[in-house]
Amino acid sequence: MDAGSLSSSNAGRSRCPLQEQQLQKKHSRENLDRFIPNRSAMDFDYAHYMVTDGRKGKENPSICSPSREAYQKRLAETLNMNRTRILAFRNKPPAPVELIPKEFFSSGSNDKPVKARRHIPQTSERTLDAPDLVDDYYLNLLDWGSANVLAIALGNTVYLWNANDGSTSELVTVDDEVGPITSVNWAPDGRHIGIGFQNSEVQLWDSTANRQLRTLRGGHRMRVGSLAWNNHILTTGGMDGKIINNDVRIRDHIVGTYRGHDQEVCGLKWSSSGQQLASGGNDNVLHIWDRSMASSNSATQWLHRLEDHTSAVKALAWCPFQSNLLATGGGASDRTIKFWNTHTGACLNSVDTGSQVCALLWNKNERELLSSHGFSQNQLTLWKYPSMVKMGELTGHTSRVLFMAQSPDGCTVASAAADETLRFWNVFGAPEVAKPAAKSYNAEPFAHINRIR
């Protein structure tokens, strides 16, 4: 035999064993040889009958009458003798057992409906021009009131955009000695608005009557870049580092002062309960203040002083579904979103976003957080809480997104950027409409039974 024939013969043998090894390996878990019948799965009496007597009629069809064949067929069906296999190589799997009969379930009642995944539009649904918007990270120039009117400060003028009909009006324009405008914030009633100025004054306006109600003076020495309402208390934060509570109902409006920041106060937010105030400053410090500790006679001591951020703390957002949870965002050299337990002062989580955090907003209907950013993408990022997985990134602005405001229904977000545009995003979707409760016609037990009088 030549070498060529030997090599080809070996090659032919090598292919077959490999296939068999793969097959054996595939069935190795069953502990059964595929060529050896499983005795426990066989009926030996039936097998003996099929090998001997069961085949006689087929081998000698002449001695089988039609009536006999019909009888044998009925007998085989009754005794389960219509099987064709004699050898069995594995046990049959046991029949499934119904623990609870199907009739106990109504059709579809046990199927939980699957919630459809919400579509998140990647582009803005509306874009408005915002000329002369001041490109200053430390200011707060955008707010959306409960009456569905958006206020934005452009240079020395405050404009109102009515989201109900799309109309625009001018509320106030000031001289250069007073302006530019450095902060705007709606009162809870959606009618009155506070406006902070470069010259340290704060004005209170009635937007419906389009008239100024009063001017708050004497509290700050420098510009007022942040405002926050708590019922009839208007809290102001200034470049002088002071935070002042102003009762707008009384003549001597200063009713409390908070001192703790060494530089400009650029973020102010009251909790939904009105008991805690969060303040962020250009000194990289976050303070939590307790309203019950406020005093007009002396500076109020903070509840927590938190110094984990490494840049200015402007973005503040209280969680709508957990009263003691606060989200904060840091500036360009920090780039993180941090979550705080404001009762204990503990930092619960910190997420590096990769860019300056300018503003934060919680979704009122879902556990989601929206952040706006600066260089390099100038994007809005939607996060799932608490996993902080990115759900989407909204792009369109060409410069840092300095301010964000949320519509009263919580669905639409307005963003204002240094590219002098105001964009509207349907990022949070429509809230779920609560189904009306089923009417109870039998308000009391046995109401359907006639009373015996």
Output the domain CATH number for residue 404. 2.130.10.10
pLDDT tens-place string over residues 225-252: 999 999 999 999 999 999 999 999 999 9
The domain total for the chain is 2
Nearest to 305 by CA among 279, 266, 331: 279
Q: Is residue 173 part of a domain?
A: yes
Q: Is residue 109 part of a domain?
A: no
Residue 149 shares a structural domain with residue 205? yes
Q: How far apart are CA 226 and CA 280, in angstroms?
A: 10
Residue 142 shares a structural domain with residue 266? yes
Long-range contacts formed by 30-38: CB under 8 A, 24+ apart: 30/90, 32/89, 32/90, 34/89, 36/89, 37/87, 37/88, 37/89, 38/88, 38/89, 38/90, 38/91
pLDDT for the residue numbered 330: 98
Residue 198 shares a structural domain with residue 243? yes
Write the single-letter amino acid at 75.
L
Q: What does pTM read for this prediction? A: 0.72
SS3 127: strand
- Do 118 and 392 touch, CB atoms closer than 8 A? no
pLDDT for the residue numbered 139: 98
Residue 413 shares a structural domain with residue 285? no
Residue 210 shares a structural domain with residue 320? no
pLDDT for the residue numbered 38: 65
- Do 338 and 350 touch, CB atoms closer than 8 A? yes
pLDDT for the residue numbered 114: 65
Q: Is the dihedral of CA 375, 149, 323, 394 positive or negative?
A: negative
The neighbouring-strand residues paired with 341 are 325, 346
Q: Is residue 75 part of a domain?
A: no
Residue 319 shares a structural domain with residue 422? yes
Q: Which residues contact 233 (CB under 8 A, 6 or more apart)?
A: 245, 246, 247, 248, 255
Q: Is residue 7 part of a domain?
A: no
Residue 227 shares a structural domain with residue 338? no
pLDDT for the residue numbered 59: 46
Q: Is residue 257 part of a domain?
A: yes
pLDDT for the residue numbered 4: 43
SS3 173: strand
> Which stretches of the chain score pLDDT less than 50?
1-33, 58-59, 109, 439-453
Residue 248 shares a structural domain with residue 371? no
pLDDT for the residue numbered 3: 43
Provide the 8-state DSSP code for 250.
S
Q: How far apart are CA 338 and CA 359, in angstroms?
A: 13
The neighbouring-strand residues paired with 228 are 235
In what side-by-side order are the strands of the sheet with 142-144?
142-144, 149-154, 157-162, 168-173
Residue 287 shares a structural domain with residue 381? no
The neighbouring-strand residues paired with 48 are none
- Do 396 and 124 touch, CB atoms closer than 8 A? yes
Apex 263 CA angle, 232 and 152, nearest 5: 50
Residue 278 shares a structural domain with residue 346? no
Domain membership of residue 390 as a residue range: 312-428
Residue owning tokens 């519509």: 407
pLDDT for the residue numbered 5: 42
pLDDT for the residue numbered 447: 43
pLDDT for the residue numbered 8: 40
Write the single-letter amino acid at 241.
G
| DSSP E strand stretches across 110-223 | 126-129, 142-144, 149-154, 157-162, 168-173, 181-186, 192-197, 202-206, 211-216
- Do 377 and 423 touch, CB atoms closer than 8 A? no
Q: How many other β-carbons are positioned within 10 Å of the β-carbon of residue 401?
A: 27
**Of 280, 307, 334, which marks where a domain is finished?**
307
The continuous run of DSSP H or E covering 297 comes out as none
Provide the 8-state DSSP code for 191.
S
Residue 317 shares a structural domain with residue 303? no
Provide the 8-state DSSP code for 440.
-
Q: How far apart are CA 210 and CA 227, in angstroms?
A: 20
Q: Is residue 155 part of a domain?
A: yes
**Of 289, 307, 325, which marks where a domain is finished?**
307
**Of 288, 307, 326, which marks where a domain is finished?**
307
Residue 152 shares a structural domain with residue 275? yes
Q: Is residue 154 part of a domain?
A: yes
Q: Is the dihedral of CA 95, 101, 107, 112 positive or negative?
A: negative
Q: Is residue 81 part of a domain?
A: no
Q: If you count DSSP H runs as helices and E runs as strands, how many of each does the chain have, helices first?
A: 4, 28
